[in-house]
């Protein structure tokens, strides 16, 4: 089964349009499983914390007080 599945994946990858369509459909179907939602749920349900509205400076700016 593994070799057959790998052969099918290789054939799909070789066909650029087919691979692009499969990739797009996969992304479009994953809405419920977003990383943002997952992180929010972990924060709330596992760590017991809520989101903060605190804005961080851009990475190019030094952090005030070196923290």
Contact predicate 43/49, CB 8 Å: yes
Domain membership of residue 14 (yes or no) is yes
- Tell me how crowded residue 40 is: count the other CB atoms within 10 A of its CB: 13
At 14-61, the pLDDT tens digits run: 999 999 999 999 988 877 777 888 889 999 999 999 988 888 888 888
**Greatest CA span in the chain, whole angstroms?**
58
Overall pTM surpassing 0.75 (yes/no): no
- Asked whether residue 61 is domain-assigned, the answer is no
Q: Is residue 66 part of a domain?
A: no
Structural domain total, the chain: 1
Question: Is 39 among the domain residues?
Answer: yes
Range of the domain at 34: 2-48
Query: In which band, very low, low, confident or very high, does the pLDDT at 66 lie, cut at 50, 70 and 90?
Result: low
């Amino acid at each position: 089964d593994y070799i057959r599945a790998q052969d099918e994946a290789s054939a799909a990858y070789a066909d650029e349009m087919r691979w692009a369509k499969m990739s797009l459909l996969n992304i479009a179907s994953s809405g419920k499983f977003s990383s943002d939602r997952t992180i929010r749920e972990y924060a709330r349900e596992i760590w017991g914390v809520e989101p903060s509205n605190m804005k961080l400076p851009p990475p190019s700016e030094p952090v005030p007080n070196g923290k």
